[in-house]
Structure 1
């Protein structure tokens, strides 16, 4: 059994990124600074790449968390202790600023994610490990 859940994408995150870049675009075009413009465009393309390649795959006994080539983590579903709603805005393989959940696994390892279809995602994990404590 293999189920893939894409990351939920909040419109706020791309807007935040773009609003921070717009002054740079305007300035680089006005000053004809093509190197800086290239850096800005590369950053924008890389951000879009991360948004589009962030997903969470349940494969039998493992949860695979992937975000581009930066994050590729396998977590044993049997090792998951709890799932809790979090408002943490720390860097995470999640394309959403809201609807994030924190998964605690092993003794004290954690990862923050934002699966689209959060309820279905949690149900799938509970099918494989009914001992997970859920507090969302």
Structure 2
């Protein structure tokens, strides 16, 4: 079962401004003098631009048998659903996790193994959590009760 990432308006605004600024800064040297350095800067900028677009549009969360596969561009996580201990809702732009593989400020934090966690933002959070709890009914939710 595949779940796609939710895109909040805030994320769309922030990423659009960042990409436009990145493109403007890298295009500036072409107005002064065209040199090899200008093309190198443009190449690096377009690579970063492409990477951001790739991560944005290729982010999904797949439940396959007993594995949760989280993909965001070239980044792939495989988490055994039996290792998931807790899922909690999170609202806000400051995410208290090492890995943020979601594009909304409204998402969930999945705690697995002992100290590992990841932030994701599936479009239908309730259906996503229910699908995980169907495989592992011991997953605790934000209020520390089994659903």
- Judge same fold: TM > 0.5, yes or no: yes
What residue in structure 2 maps to residue 104 of structure 1?
111
Residues 29-71 of structure 1: CA deviation (Å, up to 9, x unaligned): 32342221222112111111111222110012110112222x2
5+ residue gaps, structure 2:
none
> Which ranges of 4 or more aligned residues in structure 1 deviate by more than 4 Å?
none
What residue in structure 1 maps to residue 89 of structure 2?
85
What residue in structure 2 maps to residue 6 of structure 1?
4
CA drift of 1:100 comes to 2.5
Query: Under a length normalisation based on structure 2, what TM-score does the superposition of the two structures give?
Result: 0.77
CA RMSD of aligned residues (A): 2.2
**Distance in 1 between residues matched to 2:31 and 2:133, nearest whole Å:** 55
**Distance in 2 between residues matched to 1:44 and 1:14, nearest whole Å:** 10
Query: Under a length normalisation based on structure 1, what TM-score does the superposition of the two structures give?
Result: 0.82
Alignment of 1:1-136 (within 5 A): 3-10=1-8, 11-31=12-32, 32=34, 33-69=38-74, 71-86=75-90, 87=92, 88=95, 92-135=99-142
5+ residue gaps, structure 1:
none
Question: Which structure would you say has the larger Rg?
Answer: 2
Distance 1:8 1:111, change over 3 A: same
Q: How many residues align?
A: 133
